[in-house]
């Protein structure tokens, strides 16, 4: 197992044991796990992000700490956050990444992800000029996600 996986697992366990809140002293955790403090920073900045459902606060200095809070958000609110954060254009690759993350976080079902991806694929836009595909894709993606929030009782 990679060191970053060990660090992430340890922090996740801390969050599970303390109702979604953990306060970490970076140097102490690094010593405990036998890694360098920058490894702790890497794991926190790559795996414990707002997109993954976490709020991270830090205080520097001698008594410094990193506080991680797991956020539980209503799925409808989370989907609408994605809709509101989408820009005016989105590539097929970005749409795939966003929808895969949404499915992994149970914001949408795997079936919904596949259905939306089929509507957003470059194959679906072969008759559309290349320069407007990403703009059209963003609009379709937003509308499909909004429709899921409005009419899908599972979300």
Is 0.75 surpassed by the pTM of this model? no
Specify whether 62 is located in the same domain as 110. no
CB-based burial label for 66 (10 Å; 0-12, 13-18, 19+): buried
pLDDT of residue 146: 96
pLDDT at 13 over 80: yes
The answer to whether 44 touches 56, Cβ cutoff 8 Å, is yes
Please report, rounded to a whole number, the percentage of residues in the chain having pLDDT higher than 70: 97
Number of structural domains, the chain? Answer: 2
The dihedral region occupied by 22, where left means phi > 0, alpha psi between -120 and 50, and beta the remainder, is: beta
pLDDT of residue 63: 64
Specify whether 32 is located in the same domain as 87. no
State the chain's mean pLDDT as an integer: 90
Specify whether 52 is located in the same domain as 9. yes
Average pLDDT for residues 67-78, to the nearest whole number? 84
pLDDT at 62 over 70: no
> CA 54, CA 148: separation in Å to the nearest integer?
24
pLDDT of residue 65: 85
pLDDT of residue 128: 95
> CA 111, CA 57: separation in Å to the nearest integer?
36
Residue pLDDT, tens place only, 84-135:
989 999 999 999 999 998 898 888 999 999 999 999 999 999 999 999 999 9
Q: CA of 45: how far to CAs of 51, 76, 130, in Å?
A: 11, 26, 35
Specify whether 79 is located in the same domain as 105. yes
Specify whether 31 is located in the same domain as 93. no
Strand 65-70, strand 54-59: pairing = antiparallel
For residue 111, what are the domain limits? Answer: 75-151
pLDDT of residue 1: 78
pLDDT at 29 over 70: yes
Specify whether 33 is located in the same domain as 98. no
């Amino acid at each position: 197992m990679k060191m970053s996986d060990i660090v992430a697992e340890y922090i996740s366990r801390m969050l599970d044991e303390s109702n979604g809140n953990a306060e970490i002293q970076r140097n102490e955790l690094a010593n405990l796990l036998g890694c360098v403090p920058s490894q702790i920073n890497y794991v926190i900045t790559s795996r414990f992000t707002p997109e993954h459902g976490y709020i991270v606060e830090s205080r520097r200095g001698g008594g410094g700490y990193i506080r991680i809070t797991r956020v539980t958000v209503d799925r409808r609110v989370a989907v609408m956050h994605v809709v509101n954060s989408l820009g005016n254009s989105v590539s097929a690759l970005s749409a795939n990444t966003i929808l895969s993350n949404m499915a992994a976080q149970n914001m949408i079902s795997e079936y919904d992800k596949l259905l939306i991806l089929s509507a957003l694929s470059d194959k679906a836009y072969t008759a559309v000029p290349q320069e407007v595909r990403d703009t059209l894709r963003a609009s379709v993606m937003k509308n499909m996600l909004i429709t899921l929030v409005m009419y899908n009782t599972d979300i």
